[in-house]
Amino acid sequence: MSPKETSTTRRAVLKTIGGGAVATGGFAGVAAAADDDVMTKLGGGIHATLSPGDGDPDMDEDEFREYVEKMAERYGDAGVFGTGDPTYDGFITATADNIDTSTERGAYEGDYEVDSVAATYRVEGDSANDSGESNSESDQTRYRHFMWTAVDNGDLTYTAGLGSFNIITEPLRTEYLQIGVETAGKVANPMITDTISADNSSTVAVEFGSGDASFKLPSGRVTTNPSGEILSDQRPDSEYSLEWEGLADGVRSIATTVETVHDEDDPSIEFTTEYNFGYESLL
């Protein structure tokens, strides 16, 4: 993949809308410093759509298990379930994608890799819906979604020059990660609802109901958007995202779970991943 220069801002999703999973990568040309004098230079995203009720899984349970093992080999404790080991009870389907890019183009040089997965689970009948009824007593269907992404920023560098003179050469570090869900149904019970800032040994537990996943948070902070306990009927499409901001070398991962509630049997559920790389400006 050959990323292209674009005028997108730091948090714009670089995505192609459509069925299935689509990965896009691109350069984010930012003319001024972002938050805390961090200059964002490279970014992109992954977009995927799942229809968990159509009976045709993108990835079955065995394939998902193999994917989890593969990501554990690739990312270690930053893999899909991190240092946790939840069961696969209620698994329906999953979708995954990968961006593995090397560039020696213009001001950018080096490589990076991004992996992302969204796995959908069935919520058992004793889990109450928003009206207090159980699934077995209502016409609504409820799903729990586990979302994870990891990035390895490799040896990316950005060089700014004037003519034949190089003014600066900066290593690009991971500056922003996001995973999110959007649906015409209702979003319920997000696992993380608060801002979490890193300390020397921060680990964020991701509650599954059948064991926990986890991810380490050695730097930066995690926030949710919107913040608070839940979204309901205040907009045509409900959405929820988990975002990490900081500056990190090497591997960084985030994960969360969220439920969605639907009146139809075969809802369309959209997942997004965003990532950005940048450097801290001293000017």
Q: What is the DSSP string of 190-211?
A: -S--S-EE--TT-EEEEE-SSS
Task: Determine contact, residues 67/61, Cβ cutoff 8 Å.
Answer: no
CA–CA distance, 29 with 43 (Å, rounded to integer): 9
Q: What are phi and psi of 37, to 5 degrees?
A: 60, 30
pLDDT of 108 strictly over 70: yes
Closest CA to 15 of 109, 99, 106: 99
Cis preceding-peptide flag for 171 (omega within 30 of 0): no
Closest CA to 131 of 3, 233, 239: 233
- Arithmetic mean of pLDDT, 215-240: 74
Parallel, antiparallel or unpaired: strands 20-28 and 91-105: unpaired
pLDDT of 18 strictly over 50: no
- pTM here is 0.81
CA–CA distance, 81 with 92 (Å, rounded to integer): 17
Task: Decide: helix, strand or coil at residue 269.
Answer: strand
Percent of the chain with pLDDT over 70: 73
70-to-12, 66, 256, 277 alpha-carbon distances in Å? 30, 6, 20, 25
CA–CA distance, 13 with 4 (Å, rounded to integer): 14
Query: What is the average pLDDT value for the chain, to the nearest integer?
Result: 77
CA–CA distance, 96 with 113 (Å, rounded to integer): 14
Per-residue model confidence (pLDDT) at position 34: 42
Q: How would residue 70 be classed by pLDDT, with cut points 50, 70 and 90?
A: very high
Task: Determine contact, residues 212/192, Cβ cutoff 8 Å.
Answer: no
Closest CA to 232 of 178, 183, 179, 268: 183
Q: How would residue 132 be classed by pLDDT, with cut points 50, 70 and 90?
A: very low
Q: How would residue 57 be classed by pLDDT, with cut points 50, 70 and 90?
A: confident
Least confident range of 21-30, 154-163, 234-243: 21-30
Q: Between 210 and 129, whose confidence is greater?
A: 210
Cis preceding-peptide flag for 226 (omega within 30 of 0): yes
pLDDT of 7 strictly over 60: no
Q: Between 133 and 243, whose confidence is greater?
A: 243
Per-residue model confidence (pLDDT) at position 129: 43
What tokens appear for 146 in the block?
């586990």
Q: Which residues pair with 209 in a beta bridge?
A: none
Q: How would residue 144 be classed by pLDDT, with cut points 50, 70 and 90?
A: very high
pLDDT of 31 strictly over 80: no
- Arithmetic mean of pLDDT, 120-147: 67
Per-residue model confidence (pLDDT) at position 4: 27
pLDDT of 151 strictly over 50: yes
Radius of gyration of the chain (CA): 19
